[in-house]
Amino acid sequence: MLNLNELFRETAVENFGMALRISIREHQDYASLVELKYAEKKMQFIESLANFLRRYDARARAYEREKGRIAFRPSKEDLDKLMELVEKYGVKAVSAALISHALVKVGGGE
Amino acid sequence: MHSWYVNKTNMQMFDVERAYGLALLISKVTGSQSIVIKDLGFAYFIESDVEVSDVGENQKRDLETLFSDSNKFDYPLATQLRDRKTVVNETEKVVLENTNEIMKVHATPSFTVKFSIKKAEGLTTLYQSLDVTASKSFRELKMGMSYGEGGQLFVDKFSFSVALIGSAFFMHFEPTREFLIAIGPNPAEINVLSHMDIKNDMKVEHLCPISDLTVLSHYAVSLSLVLGERKAKGVYMNSYDCLVFNEMRRTGKQFKPSGSGRFPLDYCLHLSGSKEGMEMLKIVQSIFKRGFVKGHPQRLALALAQFLAEPSLDNYSRYIDIHLRGYIEKDKNKRISNLYDRASLEEAIKYVKSE
């Protein structure tokens, strides 16, 4: 049985959630939010995640160029784990957990 | 201990009103501080530590105070436009002249409400403002071939009087431009005095009026917040299992019956059990308070009400999505600026039901 709370606490969901939070709250990445929200099947989810990562990577590279610091990026392991979770719990639950992270208060800068 | 029973009739609002009304009468007559109402399923069970003695002058004066403010009966008699005062006076007369008899008939579980679809001696109109079911009562067979819409329901004067008092003193009425809704928590097991304290502590002056569901959800959140605060202080806990509501729609100058039923409290009560959950409830309350703002705040309040009524994954997804869209809204007046503490959000999603 799904426990959204446990899903929310998964490291992979946390890392992708943090990336989504930065994208949406600091760069108004509305497109990623819409795509993730409306993905119903696994393939649609993979496609929307790929689009999100492409946009996120472009912004991360720009940040690194400007600030000379390494930007946060979810790892390959995070991606594999996320896909595992999608397989286990379904697209809707995983995207709800990801979007929830975008509304969490953060103490310091990200 | 001394006990009384309020047998249920399947008219939920009418039953709750009678239970509260009788408990109030008992407290006035006995002067007891410890009146308890319990929901036994088939009936409400009322208990007092003081016996009912014969009603003397002091108790009569106490009972008279129930009727001193006639405005209290405006909403419970909202559909009675012409003779509201007469109805209140008649109720006062019934209560003052028959207090002992009312107590006596409720002392055993054998007393049942007398219903009729025809007006008769000893019966009085049960207004839809007390229970909407009463205005269309039972369907009637026409020529043995088809059913006709039912007519007005009449009940015995004791039951009506007790219900009217219960409605006037224990129900919350929320009038909006489109509807009038009466809400009361169903007493699973409560102390009436504590209930009055809880009622006074609740902030329900401006419930989110955009739909009946938002009014009910906002009320549920206010109640849960007060119960949570009392629990944290270790004050005697009253236990409620749901809200009972009765709704009428405005059509020109008249009210039409709209609906009645129960609103679940489980999710809000789960949240009120922890500090993090209480923080979440405070955010929820602030979202309802801004529900009058068109655009994202209004949409969010509606989605939130739906989620509180049925905390499913679908409803949660819709709610969180609207919240995030509202957060990145450019128009400052329509923006939703609330964010969640991680712990509060974790507590909130702990109770989301999976498919």
Residue B76, judged by CB atoms within 10 A of its CB (0-12, 13-18, 19+), counts as buried
CB–CB of B324 and A33 under 8 A?
A: yes
Average pLDDT of B253-261? 89
Q: Per residue in A75-87, pLDDT tens?
A: 999 999 999 999 9
Residue B150 has pLDDT above 80, yes or no: no
Name B260's bridge partners.
B246
**Domain locations in chain B as residue ranges:** 2-170, 176-355
Query: Bridge partners of B248?
Result: B180, B257
Please tell me the pTM assigned to this model: 0.93
Rounded Cα distance between B239 and B36, Å, is 11
Q: Which of B267, B315, B321, B341 to mutate to test the interface with A (most CBs of A within 10 A)?
A: B321
Q: What letter does residue B47 receive in the DSSP assignment?
A: E
- Extract the tokens encoding B299: 């949409």
* Number of domains, chain A: 1
DSSP type of residue A22: I
Block means of pLDDT (10 residues each) for chain A, 110 residues, are 86 94 88 89 93 94 91 93 93 93 78
Q: Is residue A64 one of the residues assigned to a domain?
A: yes
Which residues of B fall within a CB distance of 8 Å from A105? 339-342
- Mutation pick from B346, B347, B351 vs chain A, by most beta carbons of A within 10 Å, is B346
Look at A102 and B324 and tell me if their CB atoms are within 8 Å: yes
Which of B323, B341, B352 lies at the smallest CB-CB distance from A4? B352
In this complex, do B346 and A37 lie within 8 Å of one another by their Cβ atoms?
no
ipTM over 0.85: yes
CB–CB of B300/B355 below 8 Å?
A: no
Given an 8 Å threshold on Cβ–Cβ distance, is A25 in contact with B327?
A: yes
For the segment B11-69, what is each residue's pLDDT rounded down to a tens digit? 999 999 999 999 999 999 988 889 999 999 999 999 998 887 777 788 888 899 999 99
Domain that holds residue A15: 4-101
Q: Report CA-CA distances (Å) from A84 to A43, A60, B278.
A: 13, 26, 34
Residue of chain B whose Cα is closest to the Cα of A30: B325
Q: Does A26 fall in a domain?
A: yes
**Residue A110 located in a structural domain:** no
- Asked if B341 and A104 come within 8 Å (Cβ–Cβ), the reply is yes
For residue B62, give Cα distances in angstroms to A91, B91, B103, B197, B345: 63, 15, 16, 19, 49
pLDDT confidence of residue B53: 75
In-domain check, residue A106: no
Residues A58, A62, A63, A69: is their CA dihedral positive or negative? positive
Residue A8 contacts B where some CB pair is shorter than 8 Å: yes
